[in-house]
Chains A and B, each alone.
Chain A
Amino acid sequence: MIADHYPALQIVIPLLCAPVCMLVRYRDWSWAVALFGSWASLAISWELLLQVQGAGVISYEMGNWAPPFGIEYRIDPINAFVLLIVSAIGAVVIPYARESVKREFGVNRVYFFYTSYLLCLAGLLGVTITGDAFNLFVFLEISSLSSYVLIALGRDRRALVASYQYLVMGTIGATFIVIAIGLLYAETGTLNMADLAKILAEQPTSRTIGAAFGFMVVGVSLKLALFPLHLWLPNAYSFAPSVVSAFLAATATKVAVYVLLRFLFSIFNVELSFGVMPLDTILLVLSVIAMFAASAVAIYQKNLKRMLAYSSVAQIGYMVLGISFANVSGLMACILHLFNHALMKGGMFLALGCIFYRIASVRLESMAGMGRRMPLTAAAFLIGGLGLIGVPLTVGFISKWYLVEGALARGWWPVAILILLSSLLAVVYVWRIVEVMYMRPVPEDAPEIEEAPPSMLIPTWILIGASVYFAIDTELTVGVAKEAATLLLGGAK
């Protein structure tokens, strides 16, 4: 009985927990509410994934209004998987947040964090689960507005400016998406995604649809920080509180990538996206530049959070590169890397948060001898870094494997070589840190420090451990990714 309403509960639980969090205010209680909200979301999204694998696409009619007029929540293997990623990261981050947030915000302000975190989670899950184009915009704005707040909670005053810049660029992106949805509505008279897909497939491409397509791609690219629209990302990630960087890096851009996939393949069809519009070439060029330019910039960063942020821009390049191949292996690489990068980057940001908790710095020069001062944290960071490079036995290898396969299947072997070359840049920026952490002696005036508290260390290792586990046991991830990629390419029904 209640199982029929999981799609609604997925959104409603975190959304309702948010005001409750605001009302209870008291620090550990608001933490407990957030813990309940995020763990319940995880349980529901796991159930939904199982249901989808068993029974196929789930269509949930919000308030019993039948689609295409009512709002439909539609869950297929693709968004079930993204839901699981988002809620899993959310669930891992919250136990970690307890200590970290207290230290970074001051004990009396923690409920601000938990409230906006829950709203952000509800927004991200909503974007993923909905089958209605306008509803997607509303949820996107819920998640974006709360992430501006989350970033502005950073201690450094530069966090305010970073948040402001993100707000301006994010709003422009969202407004572009609304324009696109408006033009699509003008042409088709519907907002339901499945209905849109059906009508668009029957119509020849008019200028209105072309314009809608352009606005949509640019708007979503702003949200997912595709080069050269990534300018908001490095500042936002480097000045946000540690937990926020980890949570946003692992979820926000991933959901935007999902939106791009959904629109390019499910709503507009492959023929329109890559035949009528030359999007494959554009995405190919931009993502290759992102892989090289952002990795090269990452090499010169002294602030490790900023380095990870630039590396995120490069890694988003890999995902978009997978989309540009428009074949099964390419899309599988994209979806796998969504998951894998969330684990690695989330884990690395959490590890940095552990270091920041102890020494209140994320500068490269203060990392000297960290391999001996905080061995477990440094090891987690190292394994995450190996994953970014794509070393075998880490998840990064799996996604790069399918990416190279996709490039070869498309006959673009120079691109395959570029993928391998760009990994060398990752070797450089990861090695710099390994060198400082493990080869340099502990400075003599450095105070004696302990490992991070277990409540922070365990979540970090859960993500890093998962990033190794899913490299060895690829059955779940590759299976789901394959199903999702085939579905996307087979036309959305």
Chain B
Amino acid sequence: MHIAVGLYNYWIVVFLMMAGFYIVVAQGNFIKKIVGLNVFQASVFLLYISLGKVAGGTAPIIGEGIQTYSNPLPHVLILTAIVVGVATTALGLALVVRINEAYGSIEEDEIHKQDSES
């Protein structure tokens, strides 16, 4: 019971991770691949945030009556990872725009067909 319900956040992480990874592999559309990549990365963000959370803990602020607080380090790390993720997405989308200008398509099959003809 504990494994199924108590660790529900980790189940969500695993589900998102697999779903995102599947989208990246299975989709031929370049935008959809980026979406999959984002879902995949978001699952890792959730993993880190779950790691740092202490049950009943507050934000790590020194003050009256604050006894337990969550570990801020994983949360800070994930801020960095989010920035990296945003940069990756931006670059990926920029490449998709350029690919669309060059090929007139963002479908993997169509692009491979054009390349093998030329």
Measuring CB to CB, which residues of chain A are less than 8 angstroms from any residue of chain B?
134, 137-138, 141, 145, 148-149, 152, 157-158, 160-161, 163-164, 167-168, 171-172, 174-175, 178-179, 182, 185-186
Per the bound structure, the CA–CA distance linking A179 and B44 in Å amounts to 6
Give the residues in chain A near B103, CB-CB below 8 Å.
157
CB distance from B63 to the nearest CB of A (A): 23
* Candidates B88, B96, B98, B111; contact of A145 at CB < 8 Å: B88
Q: Assuming the A-B contacts A164-B92, A182-B51, are A145 and B24 also in contact, with contact meaning beta carbons closer than 8 angstroms in the complex?
A: no
Contacts of B47 in A (CB 8 A): 179, 182
**Tally of chain B residues near chain A (CB < 8 A):** 29
* Chain A residues, CB < 8 A from B91: 145, 148-149, 167
Among B67-118, those with CB < 8 Å from A are 73-74, 77, 80-81, 84, 87-88, 91-92, 95-96, 98-99, 102-103, 111, 115
B13: nearest chain-A partner, CB-CB = A179
State in angstroms the CA–CA spacing of A145 and B22 once bound together.
Answer: 23
Residue contact B21 to A160, C-beta cutoff 8 Å? no
Task: Add 8 more A-B contacts to A157-B103, A164-B30, A168-B33 (CB < 8 A).
Answer: A134-B77, A134-B80, A138-B80, A148-B91, A175-B40, A182-B48, A182-B74, A185-B51
Q: Determine whether the beta carbon of A158 is less than 8 Å from that of B115.
A: yes
Give residues 9-28 of B contacting A (CB, 8 Å): 21, 24
Q: Nearest CB to that of B103 among chain A residues?
A: A157
Candidates B44, B74, B84, B95; contact of A185 at CB < 8 Å = B74
Which label, helix, strand, loop or mixed, suits the secondary structure of the B interface?
helix
Q: Is the pair A138, B84 in contact by a Cβ cutoff of 8 Å?
A: yes
Are B48 and A172 closer than 8 Å at their CB atoms? Answer: no
Q: Which of B45-78 contact A (CB under 8 A)?
A: 47-48, 51, 73-74, 77
* Cβ contacts under 8 Å, B40 to chain A: 172, 175
Complex-state Cα separation, A182 to B84, whole angstroms: 16
Complex Cα distance, B30 from A158, in Å, reads: 14
A161 to B96, CA, bound (A): 8
Of B33, B41, B44, the residue contacting A182 (CB under 8 A) is B44
A138 to B83, CA, bound (A): 10
Report chain B residues within 8 Å CB of A175: 40-41, 44
